[in-house]
Structure 1
């Protein structure tokens, strides 16, 4: 069994802080408590700030007891990650908040892996190297959560990537995942790199994945729709029982599930599409029909059941509208993809208000 491990560093607001981790993290917790450290709500242990002599005495006691209990105590070469995260968050556009996450138990770090939405070095490091702590930077308005960890190279700064947004659920291994970046130890320089390079790439990745979700759902709906139109729909259910005649009047539950994906991901794409379509153009009129179709059925998406809501005429009409005009939507959405560079001109805002879309806020 590995020895208890303790990482010491300094926080401008908390003074000397300690992070207990490793397979025997509970023993490290007990050792810190016995030496006068107190644990806060984030799982970080710290000494009373503003009393340097007392802090030195507690640290000296920790070092002595660590040798006796065979605990490994190391000193971090960078400032406390919570401090740098707060400094970066304050410099990002919008209303960002920072919080510290402690992965004392190595299994907790493993639990993080499915939620990583990253195709760069961040995902590799979290999967294969020990990360005792991290900082999450969250912008609730855009449902964006970024993860900041210390670079494994002690002479370098930090690695930053994204966690999967609520509306995507798990993100590990997704081909649309943005590539994380290395950022310097300066909060100002790190915030510039995130604002100028990472966030544009992240927004483009969100757009591309939403578009893929809608396209794949429409393809699956169209395949089932074609089966029913050509008389090749199954006459028996999944366990071989005959399909009741009244059930044929209902949309299959799987078709409804696929269309719920359209309800979830299409509205923000439609917002961008209408921003780029000329006023009064045929494409603009088609987009308006697609928006209206979603508005007509969005109340059916209560999220409580995965079954079909029944032989509802508005739902059938909405699906028919999307199958008819889906290609126009996909073409416009591809053309309206957000730029990945900050110096690329942004799309013009809509000339007039349009019917509201539906933005489903996860975790």
Structure 2
């Protein structure tokens, strides 16, 4: 990140709030002091604002702030952009469905790096968060939990950049796996919202579906491998290192296997419902899969209930007096595993059906959809034998 003054004040205009200021830098407190002395008031979002009645009052306030900031070793920068919070609110209002916007202020330079572990991007957005100074950002959220990060595009006068946060329910490696690339947005909120709705969100849903499918497929494969390994040990009477298996160790082996299978199947319970909701067997080459999908839905509902009951049981166990027998947890866990076993077996039996139907239900990537539309609507030119096609 390039060198910056120890204290800075970034100014922007807001039709609703007047002059909006963000204090930032390694000694951002110096800038905050200057703002307070001039009469700026702290907002709920962490920025400061000063209401002004006319352009001359605004100019006078800025001149006074510059003089005061200089005495506190802070620099003032002005922008032709509107305040990011207003832009984010207007974009949210133009998006289909209920969306809300919230500004995040990153006064100290290291604070913006808290965003990095949660970003799901391999494009311009994550690069900007890593290398550029971003005093403030905005988060757009819809009613399904999608969270998008909006920033002013560094080194550009008008554009913005938007990308996604990693969705809930995935491990820490999700940000590195097939993310939707951030996009550049125009300054006009209506056009920006159109680009998000028509380009970014379809790419986001395509990437999310792909990630969910891969997560469930991986979990089911790991369960199958664990079952095969346990069966091989049980039938051979030998451990994985080929040494003779002590029969007394078999209960421990089965308990470890049950724990492993439970943990892996949690990914199925988390991500399979959304995938099942998108499956339309009648539109695929395998319409006969409908009955299997129905069985999987029933098993999933049963498994979700078992998980809810287990979580409630855990809460009860945490409140159990220490004087009760220690095997209480073990008994509850054994009951849980016995109840979940038929659910897991149902999914293992129909896993290939599920995976092919879920793969077939993947939303079309917006670029692929565009190419498909072009191919469908544009007639293929015909040429005489030996003639060359026109230059594109």
Aligned to 2:201: 199
TM-score, with structure 1 as normaliser: 0.85
Query: How far 1:170 moved relative to its partner?
Result: 4.4
Structure-2 change in CA distance of 1:159 and 1:172 (3 Å): farther
Query: How far 1:318 moved relative to its partner?
Result: 1.2
Going by fraction, where is helix more abundant, 1 or 2? 2
2:294 counterpart of 1:270? no
Query: How far 1:82 moved relative to its partner?
Result: 0.8
Unaligned runs of 5+ in 2: 315-329, 374-392
- Quote the Cα distance in structure 1 between the aligned partners of 2:282 and 2:184: 33
2:159 counterpart of 1:157? yes
Asked whether the equivalents of residues 235 and 243 of structure 1 are also in contact (C-alpha less than 8 Å), the reply is no
Look up the SS of the partner of 1:101 in the other structure. strand
Query: How far 1:100 moved relative to its partner?
Result: 0.8
Aligned to 1:259: 265
In terms of mean alpha carbon deviation, does 270-279 or 255-264 score higher?
A: 270-279
- Quote the Cα distance in structure 2 between the aligned partners of 1:177 and 1:280: 30
2:151 counterpart of 1:126? no
Give the number of equivalent residue pairs. 340
- Quote the Cα distance in structure 2 between the aligned partners of 1:67 and 1:154: 27
- Quote the Cα distance in structure 1 between the aligned partners of 2:7 and 2:189: 32
Structure-2 change in CA distance of 1:278 and 1:151 (3 Å): closer
Deviations 1:249-282 (A, max 9, x none): 5452121111000000000100111465579943
2:69 counterpart of 1:44? no
Please tell me whether Structure 1 or Structure 2 has the larger radius of gyration of its CA atoms: 2
Asked whether the equivalents of residues 277 and 283 of structure 1 are also in contact (C-alpha less than 8 Å), the reply is no
Aligned to 2:390: none
- Quote the Cα distance in structure 2 between the aligned partners of 1:297 and 1:146: 32
TM-score, with structure 2 as normaliser: 0.79
- Quote the Cα distance in structure 2 between the aligned partners of 1:275 and 1:47: 59
- Structure with higher RCO (Cα < 8 A, 6+ apart): 1
- Quote the Cα distance in structure 1 between the aligned partners of 2:174 and 2:60: 45
Alignment of 1:1-363 (within 5 A): 2-50=5-53, 54-140=57-143, 142-168=144-170, 170=172, 173-231=175-233, 246-247=251-252, 250=255, 251-274=257-280, 281-302=287-308, 304=311, 309-311=333-335, 312-341=337-366
In terms of mean alpha carbon deviation, does 149-158 or 211-220 score higher?
A: 149-158
Asked whether the equivalents of residues 151 and 160 of structure 2 are also in contact (C-alpha less than 8 Å), the reply is yes
Deviations 1:159-209 (A, max 9, x none): 010011222364664222101100111111111111111111101111011
- Quote the Cα distance in structure 1 between the aligned partners of 2:356 and 2:142: 30
Asked whether the equivalents of residues 86 and 97 of structure 1 are also in contact (C-alpha less than 8 Å), the reply is yes
